[in-house]
């Protein structure tokens, strides 16, 4: 590795990543529409990408420094900049052409405050990108998530099952009630709109479905369907294939937190260093989080 920066001004961040597809998967998970502005925050711990919609929904992707082959961070404070999420993902996709190892270097800032990407593994066939960054919008609403009480109200469900349930609720649409109750321990999704649809997930009955459940008193909140939908619409196929779980927690005031795990392990090509069991190192996981605000007036079901 010969990457000691000799430039007059050292960039805030130079990092290298060997699994671009994993990063594409993780970032795509928070891509719920075509045009989305994202804010990227750099720190010594890693990269966080934040997207937000109408003060009610926030998506965050945490790419910890452990995911990177190399992570050189020299900035003071935490630099933040805005990019178009769609452009960033489409651009990263170009680096993950199948059948080729895709070691890329990410650097910020460039001479004109760009985010710079380049492939570093083959000097005679290189890809590069310079993405213009924007001054980030201030985030309109602070998504401080606080636990609702002493016992967290949470459950963990297979990502595939969660996605399926929320997809099915499209039919009633508009507003979805999520109810947790301790006796019998269960989670209920209920949609009332063009019709009624109720999906019950019972703890103990099917341990494959509901993996964990924490609840000491009944609680119920309504969320806009389109925001719930956004939290699962782009769960990467890798998370489903690897049979991962998603954790949902209800915090103070009904704020819903949805967490997915996305593998950013080395590309699937057989690798001599993978341990015998074939498990990936647990550190090579990107965390994707959504915060959804509940609907304020419980009586209105209008969209």
Residues at the site binding other proteins, with contacts judged by CB under 8 A: 84, 87, 90-91, 93-94, 97-100, 123-132
Instruction: Evaluate the CA torsion angle 194, 29, 128, 268 in order and state its sign.
Output: negative
The least CB distance from residue 82 to other proteins, in Å, is 11
The residue among 77 and 123 lying less far from other proteins, judged by its C-beta, is: 123
The residue among 96 and 214 lying less far from other proteins, judged by its C-beta, is: 96
- For helices 85-94 and 20-28, what crossing angle results, to 10°? 160
Choose among 292, 29, 259, 33: nearest CA to 177: 292
The residues facing 41 across adjacent strands are: 48, 80
β-pairing, 104-108 vs 13-17, is: antiparallel
Which pair of structure tokens corresponds to residue 37?
């502005």
Q: Please, what's the largest Cα pairwise distance for the chain? A: 65
The least CB distance from residue 106 to other proteins, in Å, is 14
The residue among 269 and 277 lying less far from other proteins, judged by its C-beta, is: 269
The least CB distance from residue 83 to other proteins, in Å, is 9
The residues facing 189 across adjacent strands are: 178, 199
The least CB distance from residue 116 to other proteins, in Å, is 9
Q: What is the CA radius of gyration of the chain?
A: 21
The residue among 87 and 202 lying less far from other proteins, judged by its C-beta, is: 87
Which pair of structure tokens corresponds to residue 47?
């990269």
The least CB distance from residue 84 to other proteins, in Å, is 6
Distance CA 212, CA 228 (A): 20
The least CB distance from residue 231 to other proteins, in Å, is 24
The least CB distance from residue 237 to other proteins, in Å, is 18
The residue among 124 and 208 lying less far from other proteins, judged by its C-beta, is: 124
Distance CA 259, CA 289 (A): 4
The least CB distance from residue 45 to other proteins, in Å, is 27
Which pair of structure tokens corresponds to residue 93?
């996709």
Query: Is 104:20 a contact under the CB 8 Å cutoff?
Result: yes
The residue among 98 and 270 lying less far from other proteins, judged by its C-beta, is: 98
- The total of other beta-carbon atoms located within 10 Å of residue 8's CB is 5
The residue among 126 and 151 lying less far from other proteins, judged by its C-beta, is: 126
The residue among 119 and 249 lying less far from other proteins, judged by its C-beta, is: 119
Distance CA 164, CA 158 (A): 10
Choose among 129, 45, 128: nearest CA to 83: 129
């Amino acid at each position: 590795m010969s990457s000691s920066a000799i430039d007059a001004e050292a960039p805030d961040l130079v990092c290298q990543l060997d699994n671009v597809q994993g990063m594409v998967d993780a970032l795509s998970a928070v891509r719920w529409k075509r045009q989305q502005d994202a804010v990227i925050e750099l720190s010594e711990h890693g990269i966080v990408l934040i997207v937000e919609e109408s003060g009610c929904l926030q998506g965050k992707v945490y790419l910890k420094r452990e995911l990177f082959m190399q992570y050189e961070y020299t900035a003071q404070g935490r630099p933040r900049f805005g990019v178009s999420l769609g452009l960033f993902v489409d651009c990263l996709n170009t680096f993950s052409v199948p059948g080729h190892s895709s070691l890329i270097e990410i650097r910020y800032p460039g001479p004109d405050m760009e985010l710079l990407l380049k492939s570093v593994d083959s000097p005679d066939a290189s890809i590069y990108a310079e993405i213009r960054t924007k001054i980030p919008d201030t985030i309109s609403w602070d998504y401080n998530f606080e636990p609702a009480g002493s016992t967290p109200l949470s459950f963990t469900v297979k990502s595939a099952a969660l996605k399926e349930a929320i997809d099915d609720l499209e039919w009633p649409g508009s507003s979805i009630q999520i109810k947790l109750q301790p006796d019998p321990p269960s989670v209920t999704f209920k949609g009332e709109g063009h019709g009624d649809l109720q999906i019950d997930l019972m703890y103990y009955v099917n341990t494959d479905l509901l993996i964990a459940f924490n609840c000491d008193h009944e609680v119920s909140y309504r969320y806009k369907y389109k925001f719930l939908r956004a939290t699962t619409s782009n769960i990467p196929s890798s998370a489903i294939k690897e049979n991962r779980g998603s954790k949902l927690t209800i915090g103070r005031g009904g704020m819903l937190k949805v967490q997915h795990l996305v593998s950013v392990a080395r590309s699937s090509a057989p690798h001599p260093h993978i341990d015998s069991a074939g498990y990936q190192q647990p550190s090579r996981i990107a965390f994707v989080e959504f915060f959804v605000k509940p609907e304020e007036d419980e009586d209105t079901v209008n969209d």
